Chain A
Amino acid sequence: DAKTTQPTSMDCAEGRAANLPCNHSTISGNEYVYWYRQIHSQGPQYIIHGLKNNETNEMASLIITEDRKSSTLILPHATLRDTAVYYCIVRARGTSGSRLTFGEGTQLTVNP
């Protein structure tokens, strides 16, 4: 799986959009970009994933650059409950049996 680079920490004001970047310059054509988060003391929570098109669900939007070397997770209206560590993971399709490699992630703090 390709390596990812994320900022260590970010702050966001409540109600504003949180934009979390991720670099994955060595991503290959069959690798997806997944985003998870882990709120303190809870299990990792799946947020969204994509291959090359932008994706949106009820939790967030995922913007992937045309060259696929970076992506941005967008939480459109951050709340205090969105404070968590956010992980960007690159993973090949067809690897269901492989572990997820969680890097250091980005600690997002949403401030009132």
Chain B
Amino acid sequence: DAGITQSPRYKITETGRQVTLMCHQTWSHSYMFWYRQDLGHGLRLIYYSAAADITDKGEVPDGYVVSRSKTENFPLTLESATRSQTSVYFCASSGGREETQYFGPGTRLLVL
């Protein structure tokens, strides 16, 4: 039971490049989330999705695009990466009666 996985785990890219971070969950959870965590700060919500083909903005959506064509996948795309998007990105999912959010291991992104 893999749970929730993210790929890649580490990524170095250059300013202006497009980057896609992948998130996959095996629980068939309805809700999925993308957070970013900057050094010394808490988690901030970027986007979330209530179901396939339903997405909505969080606190810090600018510069990011999401899609959800399948329940189990929720990719996050940085259309034109900027240095300020250097961060650790966490994907989470929740569903069922308990509504508990479970987090992936994170993707460390460095934008040069």
Which residues of A line the B interface, CB within 8 A? 34, 41-46, 49, 93-97, 99-104
- Shortest CB distance A100–B (Å): 6
CA distance A44 to B48 in the complex (A): 17
CA distance A93 to B96 in the complex (A): 12
- CB contacts (< 8 Å) of B59 on chain A: these are 99
A99–B106 contact, CB under 8 A?
no
A-B contact pairs, 12 of them (CB 8 A): A41-B88, A42-B106, A43-B103, A43-B105, A44-B103, A45-B103, A49-B100, A94-B99, A96-B50, A99-B33, A99-B58, A99-B59
- Shortest CB distance A41–B (Å): 8
- CB contacts (< 8 Å) of A49 on chain B: these are 98, 100
A46 partner, pick from B42, B45, B101, B106, beta carbons under 8 A: B101
- CB contacts (< 8 Å) of A95 on chain B: these are 99
CA distance A93 to B101 in the complex (A): 12
Chain B interface: which size bin? 20 to 34
Which residues of B line the A interface, CB within 8 A? 30-31, 33, 35, 42-43, 45, 48, 50, 56, 58-59, 88, 90, 92, 94-95, 98-106
B101 partner, pick from A42, A94, A100, beta carbons under 8 A: A100
- Shortest CB distance A97–B (Å): 5
A42–B95 contact, CB under 8 A?
no
